[in-house]
Chains A and B, each alone.
Chain A
Amino acid sequence: MTKYTDQGKQDTRSGYGAGMTELGRTNPNVVALCADLVGSLKIQTFIDENPERFFQVGIAEANMMGIAAGLTIGGKIPFTGTFANFSTGRVYDQIRQSIAYSDKNVKICASHAGITLGEDGATHQILEDIGLMKMLPGMTVINPCDFNQTKAATLAIAEHHGPVYLRFGRPKVANFTPVDQKFEIGKALMLSEGIDVTIFATGHLVWESLLAAEALENQGISAEVINIHTIKPLDEEAIIKSAKKTGCVVSAEEHNFLGGLGESIARTLAIHHPTPQEFVATQDTFGESGTPEQLMDKYGLNNKAIEAAVLRVMKRK
């Protein structure tokens, strides 16, 4: 299989911050909003360099979404910043009416997504956000896997007209995608070709899938690993093609199995090429306090869980 090297652990939210720094220097229409979480979103450099293009809205996320929608009228490209929980469920109706239905060019940028937020516990660990956002007509949903890819995605969504949900996280994770890899919205990335099973992964679980594929290779199983960084629009062609080749698939995501990437893949395959599938995801549950590693282990979201899912699904071929 193709080997990847961790260039040094970094948090994906810092990839967002680095992307915003670059956009601040290159795109005068980009503006940033934040609901009292500047440090968490890593956008201090953008603010220092572009104070007139930054709007601190305080702990008032609904107002932030509306202001962002309004800023597009006049040609600005607003990037909102808060935790994923407060970027989605808390403000769902504001996003639905003022942004999605109104077709406003707002980039909803959400940190601390999923269970790896860790010790703060379930109030902050949203595992339903992909589902909430992908259900909105016209919304693009992106969940990049590492620092480099999050930075590249941040740059790419500024060039895309329309509402986008960009989901990233808090923990430091392996940074392994090429530093100069262009981010193509809606285009799945083949990370490692295989013939026995396909692992479709998104976000933090992409690296875990590569670890799982390596362990499986040692057992004589050839796993194909595909990074689905864009959950909507979904690269159906890549999914169908790989499923036809390997005959069984595992989806892996830091999200509830209801409403997540796995369901989108299952729908695609049910229509075009019914294929046995296993879901690495949380099982319709809330999270809890703990370290990211402990939580990934307890809730079955790491390379071991992916490996087990592969062994299960291969028996169903």
Chain B
Amino acid sequence: MNWFTKMFNSSIGQKLIMALTGLFLCSFLIIHMVGNLQLFKADSGLAFNKYAVFMTTNPLIKTVSYLLYFSILFHAFKGIWLVFSNKKARPVQYAMVDGKANSHWTSRNMGLLGTIILVFVVVHMSNFWAEYKFGHVPYARYSEDIQTGEMLEVAEMPAGFTMANKMEEIIEGRVRTVIVKDLYKEVSVEFKEEWWLVALYVLSMAAVSFHLVHGFKSAFQTLGINHRKYNGLIHFIGVWFFGIIIPIGFAAMPLYFMFK
């Protein structure tokens, strides 16, 4: 075995893989959050639909998205594999374990929390990602005044309407007409009609919160970053940003459409 495979096959190297893919997924959450905040914009979804087109056509983003799919799969399956191989290190279990005396519940249940998140990711991607990519998302037509920015008309395109591109933009005089795949509609209808889907989303965001409260700072420890000057900051970002703000922001989206 050369040094490279030796490193990644060692117990520390395997944790390194979990830490690096995990932190990459954390960075993705920020981008995903910022983009999706456009769902709250009162423009009948024009900005969000344009953003969806950009995210699925820009070559740089497409390249990074393959790295993202790979990271999700690798992080999930390596994690599951680690849970089972770690179980082998204790073939006879204790009759009595007082876990809460020495560690947090979240840190002991990363596998369980991760599994909930994996199920969520599958449901989430089949709902929107696969639907957008392979399904029949309807088109919508937006007309706006270029000078004032005022929205003149929003209309659904007739059922069965399709075109080669995800978006076309026509400017006639002062009026800009945009015909675009209406993912916004898809999102708003799904969350309006399926209460159980909203419940699954909110529950999953709780799992994300608990997973990241431990996971974010744990990744730094695995990378060997444990420094008196920075531990407080890492802990703060892990708890407040990834553990509270990000999950609440994401959970607010389905709830917003449910009660809209």
Indicate, yes or no, whether A interacts with B.
no
Chain B residues proximal to chain A, CB less than 8 Å: none
Chain A residues proximal to chain B, CB less than 8 Å: none
